[in-house]
Every structure is written in C-alpha cells, then in structure tokens.
Amino acid sequence: MIEFTKLHGNGNDFIVINEFGKNIIPDDKKADFAVKYCNRRFGIGADGVLFISGSNKADMKMRLFQPDASEAEMCGNGIRCLVKYAFDSGHINVSTAMVETLAGVLPAETRRDNTGFWVRVNMGPPLTTRAEIPAKGDACDEFINVDMYGYTVSAINTGVPHAVIFVDDLDLDILEIAPKIRFDPIFPNGVNVNFVKVESDNMITIRTYERGVEDETLSCGTGSVACAYLAHKLKSIADEILVHTNGGVLNISISDDVTFMEGPAETVFKGTIPR
C-alpha cells in the first residue's frame, strides 16, 4: 500500500507522498500517478501531488506534478503544505527550513497560533523581463502593460510564470477569458492568469486560473505574490499587502524587491491506496 497525506493551503489542495529514504513512485510514473489520483471523482482529488524527499542542498526537496501530468517549477501554497507535513512528520523540528525546488532553494519559517499553522516563505525577487519569463519575440524591455484579447496584461515570474490583469470588477467569466492568455504562443511554457482588483492601499482581491490544473483554483500562492508585487509597483500601494483569494487570505510583504508570502497550511486526512 502507498501512504499519502492530503493537505491544503487556502483551499489549494495537494496529495503528499513521502519519499525520504525511498523512491515510492518511480520518476517515470509520477506524472501518470498525478493524473490518476488528482481526479476528484475517480481518485483522491487534488490540485497536484507533492513528492517530498531528501536534498543535498536543503532540508528537503519538493517536486510537484499536476493533474495534466506536467511538473511545475514551484507552488506557493504547495510549499507551505510541504513544510507543515515535514514538521508534523518529524523531518524538521525547528521553526526554519530550507526547501529545494525547481525554482531554487527557498527559506521558510513556521509559527503556530490559535488560528492554526502558518508558514512564511522567502520567495526572492520576481523576474519581470520578457527574456526572463521567457516569452516569444525579441528579448527586450519589461513585458508590462501589453494589450492581449482586450485586456492590459503584465507578465512576471514568481517561481512560475504569471500574467496579471488589473480590473475594476472581478465578476467575469474567467474560464472564457483566461485560457486564451494561458495558451497564447507568446508564453511558450504556458502561464497562470490572474485578475486583480485593488481594494485599498494595502488590500487586493484576486482570482487565478492555473496552468496544469486548467481551471480556476481557490487560491494561488505564487499568483498572490505576483499580483501584490505588481500592485505595489504599478499601482503604488503599500509594501505590506493583504491578498484575498476565494480560499482565504495571504499576507505578502515586499522589502527591497524581495517578496515574502505568509499563509496557513492544514492537514485534511491521511490514507492508503493500493500499489
């Protein structure tokens, strides 16, 4: 039997497979495993499968496979869930940890209060040029305020690529609009699509369509960082920002262009599945 743990960060949910010391799912089978068990009717149901293992450069290594069989570079809500799992399982016993991802090694801090278990992650400085996204076309100036499909789009990479669109009203058909941008050839590796409403000097509300999931998710950690950073840069809001998502709230702070994300992580249940 294969043991798993289901966790979520603001409703963005993940299946965690512990591969410390042992490869449970062969690498060439991980994508198929995610397709099968992320299915919400015929599997466990999740936005992705997190594989946690040892690392020679950090306290742990994170790999994320998504429902469409793709492997993502990183995930903000996912890394918080991974750190909580590692803490609860005894793989780390301190309040700080280093996590190896395909987007680099990220430091995380944990705290617990009467509202739950919180993880704060140093997400580093975002990348904002077309060459760094990367995007199709001339490597060039910052890809900000470009018209696409009737919207003004800004592109940024906060571990994974994001398109950010500021709107006055979030009551829109995201499943009709977002896939056009997500699959546009200017983004050869695809892109997550975020719609943002600035609520006040230190608060925004966002909705996110995630590549790999190919649907709107209840929350996106890297998307929250992307939206908060660009709201700070382009809309001149504060550097301590409360981000409202459909699944809950994230705290994003910016210091000398380095971004920090803090949010909750919760265990849903544990179980086993046949090999």
pLDDT digits (tens, 9 = 90+) for 49-74: 999 999 999 999 999 999 999 999 99
Q: How confident is the model at residue 189 (pLDDT cuts 50, 70, 90)?
A: confident
Question: Are 37 and 43 a contacting pair, CB within 8 Å?
Answer: yes
* 9 alpha carbon, distance to own chain's centre: 10
Query: CB-based contacts of 22: which residues, under 8 Å, 6+ apart?
Result: none
Average pLDDT estimate for 255-264: 95
Catalytic residue among 38, 75, 81, 227: 75
Burial 152-188 (b: 16+ CB within 10 A, else e): ebbbbbbbbbbbbbbbeeeeeebeebbeebbebebbe
Q: 1.10.275.10, 3.30.465.10, 3.10.310.10, 3.30.530.20: which CATH number matches 2-113+263-273?
A: 3.10.310.10
Which residues, listed in sequence order, are joined to residue 5 by a DSSP beta bridge?
A: 16, 270
Interacting residues of 269 by C-beta distance below 8 A, sequence separation 6+? 5, 6
Per annotation, catalytic residue among 38, 81, 220, 227 = 220
pLDDT (mean) for 234-242: 96
Q: How many CA atoms lie within 13 A of 225 on its CB side?
A: 31
Q: Is 75 a catalytic residue?
A: yes
Fold agreement between 2-113+263-273 and 146-256: yes
Class of domain 146-256: alpha beta
The average pLDDT across 113-118 equals 91
Q: Is 191 exposed, middle or buried (CB count within 10 Å of its CB: 0-12, 13-18, 19+)?
A: buried
Every domain of the chain and the residues it spans = 2-113+263-273, 146-256
| 139 against 141, higher pLDDT | 141
